[in-house]
């Protein structure tokens, strides 16, 4: 029956009806989606159906929008060529607008399905173009009493994000897009909801983001995600694979700037104090990631301000890694006292107790 419809030239007629009134747009879009389902997608695409279907995603009528998205799902599924044609026709902006504005379950569920098709077909598209959808998908999952179809679609679409965030699949421009559209901060509910798959998606995304510049790392810190990542990495009940991914993200943060390394360890010290823990739960992760080695090297930095901050940090958290000769040299130059104001570490804390009182071994300060 479907082949007969193609043979008699029905497809071009249906495409023409997409530009008609609402009463004919919905059945025409539905018919084209059904025809595309059984390997007739080439005929539907060749007949020029993609551009008017994309236009219908902006229709004020939710039924028309949902049916147009359904047809585009059928056209896109499993085909990189057709996926690229749909993206080239400009689907992303109207689809994003529809999913932000609509409360219709069909629009939201089918929209998530279309995103899943776009994200999962090889070769994978640039992550930056799809980044603005992440906050929308997370909000759908976090919404109370959400429709089951919407939840399934949103979870599947977010799971596909892991493919795009895999090592080597993204660039700093993609990381910029994730930060600028608010996607980084929006992932916080995924880390808090206790669903391993969604936690893994968030952790993989954070590993990708924190492999970028210190500005990208700072975006993760500013979103208050590091404590949640550490809790997963250190949690006794956390799946071992998820632990490894979360620890990788924290490790990347601990290899950031001097201030970022300090933030991770200081946050662990605060958690230790608040919860009465015997040890700082973040210190081990920072040490394993090489963050302590970085701070140890910074003791000898030519910039005295950087060197003094590194020394005070080590005094507070890793005293065994302290270069006492360097400390004495900076102390005698009245540099460490300036740092004392910020850290409450001073001469009364006996930080030089093992240094020679006559200053032997004092380093030359550049």
Q: Tokens standing for 108?
A: 């939201």
- Segment 148-166, tens digit of pLDDT: 999 999 999 998 887 788 7
Do residue 1 and residue 109 come from a single domain?
yes
Whether 89 and 50 have beta carbons less than 8 Å apart is answered as yes
Query: How many residues are given for the chain?
Result: 366
Residue 353 confidence (pLDDT) = 35
d(CA 10, CA 2): 10
Under the banding of pLDDT at 50, 70 and 90, the label for residue 189 is very high
Do residue 111 and residue 166 come from a single domain?
no
- Domain extent, residue 224, equals 124-253
Do residue 143 and residue 101 come from a single domain?
no
Residue 6 confidence (pLDDT) = 59
In a domain, 186, yes or no: yes
Q: Tokens standing for 103?
A: 């409360």
Neighbours of 99 (CB within 10 A): 24
Average pLDDT rounded to a whole number, residues 200-227: 94
Question: Residue 303 — φ and ψ, nearest 5°?
Answer: -80, 110
Kindly tell me if the per-residue pLDDT of 338 is higher than 70: no
In a domain, 343, yes or no: yes
Do residue 16 and residue 96 come from a single domain?
yes
Do residue 163 and residue 84 come from a single domain?
no
Do residue 80 and residue 42 come from a single domain?
yes
Domain-ending residue, one of 118, 138, 161? 118
In a domain, 264, yes or no: no
Under the banding of pLDDT at 50, 70 and 90, the label for residue 345 is very low
Count how many domains the chain has. 3
Those residues with Cβ within 8 angstroms of residue 121's Cβ, 6 or more apart along the chain or in another chain: 76, 78, 79, 80, 83
Kindly tell me if the per-residue pLDDT of 42 is higher than 70: yes
In a domain, 259, yes or no: no
Do residue 114 and residue 4 come from a single domain?
yes
Do residue 247 and residue 137 come from a single domain?
yes
In a domain, 349, yes or no: yes
Angle at alpha carbon of residue 322, lines to 320 and 327, rounded to 5°: 150
Domain-ending residue, one of 87, 118, 149? 118
Average pLDDT rounded to a whole number, residues 209-218: 94
Domain-ending residue, one of 91, 118, 145? 118
Kindly tell me if the per-residue pLDDT of 101 is higher than 90: yes
Q: Tokens standing for 146?
A: 């959400």
Kindly tell me if the per-residue pLDDT of 83 is higher than 60: yes
In a domain, 286, yes or no: no
Task: State whether the Cα torsion 308-314-320-321 is positive or negative.
Answer: negative
Do residue 333 and residue 224 come from a single domain?
no
In this predicted structure, which of 181-185, 212-216, 229-233 has the lowest mean pLDDT? 229-233
Residue 286 confidence (pLDDT) = 80
Whether 242 and 203 have beta carbons less than 8 Å apart is answered as yes
Q: Where are the beta strands (DSSP E) in 292-334?
A: none
Residue 327 confidence (pLDDT) = 77
Kindly tell me if the per-residue pLDDT of 170 is higher than 90: no
Do residue 242 and residue 350 come from a single domain?
no
Domain CATH number, residue 2? 1.25.10.10
Residue 181 confidence (pLDDT) = 94
Average pLDDT rounded to a whole number, residues 58-75: 96
Residue 256 confidence (pLDDT) = 82
d(CA 329, CA 1): 89
Give the best-scoring range by mean pLDDT among 76-80, 208-212, 232-236, 357-361: 208-212
Whether 248 and 207 have beta carbons less than 8 Å apart is answered as yes
Kindly tell me if the per-residue pLDDT of 145 is higher than 80: yes
Q: Tokens standing for 264?
A: 């991770």
In a domain, 330, yes or no: yes
Under the banding of pLDDT at 50, 70 and 90, the label for residue 2 is low
Q: Which residue has the tokens 């084209």?
A: 32
CA-atom Rg of the chain in angstroms: 28
What is the chain's percent helix, strand, coil content, to nearest 5?
70, 0, 30
């Amino acid at each position: 029956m479907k082949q007969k419809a193609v043979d008699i030239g029905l497809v071009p007629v249906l495409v023409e009806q997409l530009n008609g009134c609402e009463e004919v747009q919905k059945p025409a879009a539905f018919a084209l989606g059904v025809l595309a389902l059984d390997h007739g997608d080439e005929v539907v695409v060749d007949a020029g159906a993609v551009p008017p279907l994309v236009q219908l995603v902006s229709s004020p009528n939710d039924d028309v929008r949902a049916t147009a998205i359904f047809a585009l799902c059928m056209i896109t599924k499993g085909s990189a060529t057709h996926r690229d044609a749909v993206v080239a026709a400009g689907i992303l902006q109207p689809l994003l607008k529809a999913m932000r504005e609509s409360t219709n379950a069909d629009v939201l569920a089918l929209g998530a399905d279309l995103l899943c098709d776009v994200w999962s077909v090889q070769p994978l598209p640039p992550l930056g173009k799809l980044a603005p959808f992440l906050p929308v998908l997370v909000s759908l999952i976090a919404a109370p009493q959400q429709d089951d179809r919407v939840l399934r679609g949103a979870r599947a679409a977010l799971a596909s994000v892991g493919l795009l965030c895999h090592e080597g699949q993204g660039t700093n421009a993609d990381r910029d897009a994730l930060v600028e559209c608010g996607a980084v901060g929006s992932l916080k509910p995924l880390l808090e909801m206790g669903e391993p798959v969604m936690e893994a998606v968030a952790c993989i995304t954070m590993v990708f983001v924190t492999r970028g510049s210190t500005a990208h790392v700072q975006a993760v810190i500013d979103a208050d995600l590091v404590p949640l990542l550490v809790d997963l990495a250190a949690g006794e009940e956390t799946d071992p694979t998820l632990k490894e991914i979360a620890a990788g993200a924290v490790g990347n943060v601990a290899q950031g700037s001097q201030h970022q390394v300090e933030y991770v360890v200081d946050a662990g010290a605060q958690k230790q104090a608040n919860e009465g823990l015997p040890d700082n739960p973040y210190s081990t992760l920072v040490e394993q990631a090489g963050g302590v080695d970085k701070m140890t090297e910074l003791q000898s930095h030519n910039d005295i301000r950087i060197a003094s901050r590194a020394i005070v940090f080590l005094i507070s958290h890793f005293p065994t890694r302290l270069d006492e000769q360097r400390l004495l040299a900076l102390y005698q130059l009245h540099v460490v006292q300036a740092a004392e104001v910020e850290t409450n570490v001073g001469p009364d804390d006996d930080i030089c107790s093992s240094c020679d009182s006559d200053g032997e071994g004092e380093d030359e300060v550049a």
